[in-house]
Chain A
């Protein structure tokens, strides 16, 4: 028998059911709890900002791939969708729509497609989008709508400062942590998301829940997020122990700003993080340190976006220096 429909290919003939698409959609699923919290806290604004970011990311990917690159259109692979969601999560809810569109163009056009598309980008696209906006429009990008529960109207969003913003400004004006403590949201409120900040970074609990899901699904390993948070906790802990009047305690640092969003969802982006576990730990320590340095001494109150982007640049170097230990390189076994 020599039938034409018989397929010949080299081994292996089996494939696991893991696909890039499933990985992307797993991350999307993991972000749902945090989005629901934002919807509750920011109301309609959260929905609008997120939808605009998603639609414009998908649209830019489609337009650029189809008409500029004249290549295969890959908007269904879930990566542009994810970039859209993460970009929205990293800007204040209710950012002017045209700015969101500009941010999406920076994320998809500059950070992703100009490097060759999915898998070739050096920097996390959503973070490039965010930082681009932060540098271009510093005022609007730091206009945080105050978390007012059940606020369903778009127009009368009240703006306020983030926890880290309060601390940074307060300390600069010579206040001490003790004096600032009344202005800082309680730990419980930061856990739940009753605080100021970017759209998706509100609730630590919701973000941790999604992070746990990603670990169970083996989309991410503990190495990057836990190492980042641990590094931040240790470093802020040392400073706080020495001078509690001028440095916030580690719990405030971990629960505020984009620490958890960054550690679990931005730094773990597969494309822009190291391939080996050893490399991941080095990468994560770098992010933790740079984040804390920026928070303490930088011009911006929050530094995790910059920290991740800076460490993204080191990933090729980390990959070539921190290789897996080759089997057979162990010191000679003792033979009886």
Chain B
């Protein structure tokens, strides 16, 4: 019996259309739009000006604090504008617009470094480099990676978990990366183990990616400290807390962090970015993006420069299909619907999903029939129906008592509700108000 997390979970259709497709490198776009708020935390501060020439990998916006991250130019070219551009949140955000210098060869160069196994840097240098090179969690949360590696003295760490779960339907970016860059990821894991002073690492992979499980078992056959855990397929296993529960059977306490149970979790994409930063001095300027959807001519996985407009990617897979009703930045369970395809790819963009009528629209909302399925599937042991009612009626204090803030917004409740009730919408709303109330009290 394969392992899985302790509570709840759902089985949406997997629809991994692109799992057999190699990651194709796209040439640099003519213009890139680089937002300064691509990570959780304080936005970066712009340090270039209009008409400045920038090199590929040059810092163009500096980290604005501890929980923040540097941003590097993904191309060589000229800054044409500092502008407000709509990003995937739907709001206008500060952006650095760079016109690519077409003659500059490095913009098109295939960056496939030879594998380098020896780790020269010391732990503190590793953390500094990760911070300087703008590495953030690439699984979607975009939490600056160096913050996770700054373990407080009083916390005892014993295990590094590598997240290769990719439980979102449709997405295959992590899967392909694991298959194509397996050896590099293993080196990346060793880098992280060195930085964290832990001597145990476990790679968690859902068993629908059996080839990746086999590959990593082979790659780590002689590595006693690195294990591979094949996991049952169940959403949201890629959630940090769920993954720790699945692999180690430890529960991160309410309002706690993985650190509290001696664990740090990093996504495989992040691990690869860390490998490139440490071993090849390459900052985070590109990432793997799955562009997919049932009606697309040629759904694919791409290496994409940060700042590339999404419409370029859609052109690359054969254009926007007839009857498209929804464009999703990310996976179908937690991604954001966007309206404008000028939105650029950022560090957190793991996929673009194009959806037609059948999947795009929500059903008519009916009365709650109290079937309890939302309670059954909630991975956090919450009562979504109750939290929705409390939020709807403005009873935020009661909602906080019912642990509304521990909701991880996985959407399992809304997914299963037979009456199409917008459970997560109201819970999010309740969480936001609760947060505001808490901060206004302090």
The interface of chain A, by Cβ under 8 A from chain B, is: 1-2, 5-16, 18-20, 22-23, 77, 79, 117-120, 270-277, 323-330, 332-333, 335-336
Q: Inside 8 A of B411's CB, which chain A residues have their CB?
A: 11-12
- Check: B369 CB closer than 8 A to any chain A CB: yes
- Measured in the bound complex, the distance between the Cα atoms of B324 and A8 in whole Å is 12
Interface flags, B138-157, vs A, CB<8A=1, else 0? 00000000000000000011
Q: Which residue of B lies closest to A279 (CB)?
A: B372
- Contact in complex: B324, A6 (CB < 8 Å): yes
Minimal beta-carbon separation of B328 from chain A (angstroms): 6
Minimal beta-carbon separation of A223 from chain B (angstroms): 10
Minimal beta-carbon separation of B17 from chain A (angstroms): 15
- Contact in complex: A23, B254 (CB < 8 Å): no
Q: List 6 A-B pairs, minimum CB-CB distance, nearest first.
A: A12-B411, A335-B262, A333-B250, A119-B367, A275-B372, A328-B254
- Measured in the bound complex, the distance between the Cα atoms of B255 and A325 in whole Å is 15
Q: Inside 8 A of A8's CB, which chain B residues have their CB?
A: 90, 326, 337-339
Interface flags, B414-433, vs A, CB<8A=1, else 0? 11111110101100100000
- Contact in complex: B169, A14 (CB < 8 Å): yes
- Measured in the bound complex, the distance between the Cα atoms of B367 and A12 in whole Å is 19
- Contact in complex: B241, A23 (CB < 8 Å): no
- Check: B362 CB closer than 8 A to any chain A CB: yes
Within 8 A of A (CB), among B338-374: 338-341, 353, 355, 359-363, 366-373
Q: Inside 8 A of B362's CB, which chain A residues have their CB?
A: 9, 15
Q: Inside 8 A of B368's CB, which chain A residues have their CB?
A: 119
Minimal beta-carbon separation of A311 from chain B (angstroms): 15
- Measured in the bound complex, the distance between the Cα atoms of B251 and A55 in whole Å is 53
Of A6, A10, A325, A329, which contacts B325 at CB under 8 A? A6
Q: Inside 8 A of B90's CB, which chain A residues have their CB?
A: 8
Q: Inside 8 A of B385's CB, which chain A residues have their CB?
A: 275
- Measured in the bound complex, the distance between the Cα atoms of B252 and A333 in whole Å is 8
- Contact in complex: A335, B419 (CB < 8 Å): no
Q: Inside 8 A of B12's CB, which chain A residues have their CB?
A: 14, 16
- Contact in complex: B383, A324 (CB < 8 Å): yes
- Contact in complex: B333, A12 (CB < 8 Å): yes
With A77-B366, A270-B369, A336-B158 as known contacts, state yes or no: A330 contacts B418, CB within 8 Å. no
Most buried by B among A13, A19, A119: A13
- Contact in complex: A326, B380 (CB < 8 Å): yes
- Contact in complex: B251, A328 (CB < 8 Å): yes
Of B157, B254, B333, B420, which contacts A11 at CB under 8 A? B333
Q: Inside 8 A of A18's CB, which chain B residues have their CB?
A: 373, 416, 418
- Contact in complex: B375, A324 (CB < 8 Å): yes
- Contact in complex: B424, A329 (CB < 8 Å): no
- Measured in the bound complex, the distance between the Cα atoms of B410 and A14 in whole Å is 12
- Check: B194 CB closer than 8 A to any chain A CB: no
With A12-B414, A13-B332 as known contacts, state yes or no: A19 contacts B370, CB within 8 Å. no
Interface flags, B264-301, vs A, CB<8A=1, else 0? 00000000000000000000000000000000000000
Of A6, A323, A333, A336, which contacts B251 at CB under 8 A? A333
Of B158, B420, B425, which contacts A10 at CB under 8 A? B425
- Check: B80 CB closer than 8 A to any chain A CB: no
- Measured in the bound complex, the distance between the Cα atoms of B410 and A117 in whole Å is 30
Q: Inside 8 A of B7's CB, which chain A residues have their CB?
A: 324-325, 327
Using a Cβ cutoff of 8 Å, how many contacts connect chains A and B?
173
- A–B complex contacts, Cβ < 8 Å, 7 sampled: A6-B324, A19-B363, A118-B369, A119-B369, A324-B7, A333-B248, A336-B158
Q: Which residue of A lies closest to B327 (CB)?
A: A6
Minimal beta-carbon separation of A255 from chain B (angstroms): 29
Minimal beta-carbon separation of B132 from chain A (angstroms): 30
- Check: B6 CB closer than 8 A to any chain A CB: yes
With A20-B418, A23-B418 as known contacts, state yes or no: A324 contacts B336, CB within 8 Å. no
- Contact in complex: B372, A270 (CB < 8 Å): yes
- Measured in the bound complex, the distance between the Cα atoms of B295 and A278 in whole Å is 44
- Contact in complex: A326, B381 (CB < 8 Å): yes
- Contact in complex: A276, B372 (CB < 8 Å): yes
Minimal beta-carbon separation of B371 from chain A (angstroms): 4
Q: Which residue of A lies closest to B249 (CB)?
A: A333
- Contact in complex: B383, A11 (CB < 8 Å): no
Q: Which residue of B lies closest to A79 (CB)?
A: B369
Minimal beta-carbon separation of A193 from chain B (angstroms): 30
Most buried by B among A9, A10, A324, A327: A327
With A7-B325, A324-B383 as known contacts, state yes or no: A270 contacts B371, CB within 8 Å. yes
Q: Inside 8 A of B328's CB, which chain A residues have their CB?
A: 13
Q: Which residue of B lies closest to A118 (CB)?
A: B367
With A327-B7, A335-B158 as known contacts, state yes or no: A12 contacts B251, CB within 8 Å. no
Q: Inside 8 A of A5's CB, which chain B residues have their CB?
A: 325
Of A7, A16, A118, which contacts B337 at CB under 8 A? A7
With A271-B369, A336-B158 as known contacts, state yes or no: A329 contacts B254, CB within 8 Å. yes
- Check: B256 CB closer than 8 A to any chain A CB: yes
- Check: B202 CB closer than 8 A to any chain A CB: no
Minimal beta-carbon separation of A221 from chain B (angstroms): 9
Q: Which residue of B lies closest to A120 (CB)?
A: B367
Q: Which residue of A lies closest to B429 (CB)?
A: A10
Q: Which residue of B lies closest to A270 (CB)?
A: B371
Q: Inside 8 A of B232's CB, which chain A residues have their CB?
A: none
Of A1, A23, A277, A333, which contacts B262 at CB under 8 A? A333
- Check: B253 CB closer than 8 A to any chain A CB: yes
Minimal beta-carbon separation of B197 from chain A (angstroms): 13
Q: Inside 8 A of A330's CB, which chain B residues have their CB?
A: 251
